[in-house]
Amino acid sequence: MHEYNTLPPNLKEVSNTYFLSQIANNTILREENRQPLDWRSKPKGVSSLRMLHFYDNTGIAIAEVRQQESNKYYLYKFGCDHEYREIFRIGLTKHYECSLCHHEQIIDSSD
């Protein structure tokens, strides 16, 4: 099975508010469209998933159901549920690492 036909890891439905907060606070690295075949509980009428990837290997996705009256949308997130812990700091710069996927993040608290 091609990646194009698989669901992204850890796909979970989210609220409108969560979805919008992710768009407001993240830089979108790339966009991708998939037609997953391994969808166990696919919403009725959904065939494809539009994904927005963020820099930290997570992202959000939209599934659209086209209807005559108004289209219906299902909102998701995917990727790691990061659990960051501080690994070291230099001055006001703190280095964090996710204990699950080892993604690193640097936060400068000087401003």
- List residues binding Zn ion (CB under 5 A): 80, 82, 98, 100-101, 103
> What DSSP assignment string belongs to 13-28?
E--HHHHHHHHHH--E
- Quote the least distance from Cβ 85 to Zn ion, whole Å: 11
Question: Which residue number, 13 or 97, has a Cβ lying nearer to Zn ion?
Answer: 97
- Closest by CA to 62, choosing from 19, 18, 3, is 19
- Quote the least distance from Cβ 47 to Zn ion, whole Å: 30
Question: Which residue number, 29 or 100, has a Cβ lying nearer to Zn ion?
Answer: 100
Contact by Cβ (8 Å): 59, 8: yes
For tokens 């919403």, the residue is 43
Question: Which residue number, 42 or 82, has a Cβ lying nearer to Zn ion?
Answer: 82
- Quote the least distance from Cβ 83 to Zn ion, whole Å: 7
For tokens 């194009």, the residue is 4
